[in-house]
Amino acid sequence: MADDQDRLYSALVRRDGRLDGRFFVGVSSTGVYCRPVCRARRPKLENCVFFRTAAAAERAGYRPCLACRPELAPRLAGVRASATLASRAAVILEESCGILEDLKTVAERLGRSERQVRRAFMEEYQATPIQHLQTCRLLLAKSLLTDTSLSVVEVAMAAGFGSLRRFNDLFKKRYGLVPTALRRKNASVDRDREALEVTLSYFPPYRWDQILGFLAARAIEGVEKVENEKYFRVVNLQTPDNQWVQGWLSVGHQPALNALLVTIGKTLLPVLPLVLARVRHLFDLGQDPEAIFPTLSPLNELRPGLFEPGTRLPGSFDAFETALRAILGQRITIKGAGGLAARLVAAYGAPVQTGIPGLTRVFPGPRDILALTDDPRSGPLDDRLGPLGVTTIQARAIGSLARALFQGEIDLSLWADPEMEMLKLQAIAGIGPWTAKYIAMRVLGHPDVFLETDLGIRKALAGFGPPKGFSPRELAGLAEAWRPWRSYATVNLWNSL
């Protein structure tokens, strides 16, 4: 970033919050690296080295500032409008930092060689994938040591180090501190809580009320709820050693900090990095509103207020849950689909003890659905789901999707190719273009999907085209101007109703 150092230094002098998370500055006179919003004494330009990522700063030998805490800086999403090999690899690393041990797994998931992934990653992030992985783990551990009541051993395991000795050695080597020294600086933390709190930052502005309202309207009874301006849900995830753990989480807003506060039950410690990655995806924390503004602001020429900066694309916490909910929502109201999902959960979701009123069931996964279809005593899946109000076509589509996911024929992970997966989804009888696009938009985080046949889209644009309204073909043509952010245009149009 040397070619742009004058502009970056100017942002550092101004403590420009708009660039927080977009770069870090290493200070050669102190050996630390900071966020551009750091309140510490301003360094001289000749002592500053600018880095795109925290991993690049640590690779150069800098340690994180204890005042501005680089681990709290917002993170740009790995999958954006122009997803690269390196950014897709970064998604795998950050979601799986508690599991991965080498580059081979990342390369295999992306269908590339280790050499290709390493070279692409170095070019984009100025650090190797393994260095990026180590930085993710170290910064997560630093955050947990500072803000939670977890013991040092629990922190080491939760951050994915596998052993206390490995954690202590790397922490001391990189940061010049033993973890217990950082813990002593934070003696006021309550050690007896049964939950931990983690702060996840975003790039402002952020329309919290909009995304919370979207999730509230689609909350599945027993699994999730919105109450007192917070989102709550049951969590059921698999650990690296193939054990299933259940628990709960809640998400609230801290607008003064440009952050969300995630409260997580301690039973989820074995899968903490995965939980945090999924919360980031669900609330679209990695999006940059400034990148979207130039393309979508012309929506306000159609009608003032049609585009609101900071509008997020609601993602997904559980891919199968959201995809199944989309199938149930075909041709019926949001409320009607919610009723179907609630009955399915009540009938086939395993009970769970969370201690949170209203969070009582685990959403049935692909394995649970297949257990219904493979039991010779139960008959076809539509016989089991039909009494709940699920149509035969929907039931068969659900069964086919569950089998395809379980066998790995369809990939709904964030690093998958959304265009390819949409084609696979549409090959399933009962899943049409609208459903496949909706799944790609929310589950795969595809930023450039437009639902030209959606009734809500037509209503939002009624009165701005032909007397009888736009046809789907005309809507698709109109949306060409909103590439590569058509998913965000879709959400803005829905929100305008």
Compute the distance between CA of residue 90 and CA of residue 111 in angstroms, rounded to an integer.
15
Sheet holding 244-254, edge to edge: 195-201, 259-265, 244-254, 230-238, 224-227
Catalytic member of 34, 48, 97, 136: 34
Q: Tell me, yes or no, if 417 is annotated catalytic.
A: no
Q: Which of 358, 362, 147 is nearest to 261 (CA)?
A: 147
Is-catalytic flag, 454?
Answer: yes
Distance between CA atoms of residues 340 and 328, nearest Å: 7
**Encoded tokens for 377:** 């005593």
Q: Estimate to the nearest angstrom the gap between the alpha carbon of 12 and the chain centroid.
A: 28
Q: Starting at the earlier edge strand, list the strands of the sheet with 48-51.
A: 48-51, 24-27, 32-34, 63-64
Dihedral sign of CA atoms 297, 300, 304, 310 in order: negative
In the chain the first and final C-alpha atoms are separated, in Å, by 43
Candidate list 284, 318, 448, 454, residue with the active-site label: 454
- Burial (CB count within 10 angstroms: exposed 0-12, middle 13-18, buried 19+), residue 93: buried
Q: How far apart are CA 83 and CA 69, in angstroms?
A: 28
Q: Which two tokens stand for residue 61?
A: 């030998």
- What are the catalytic residues? 34, 454
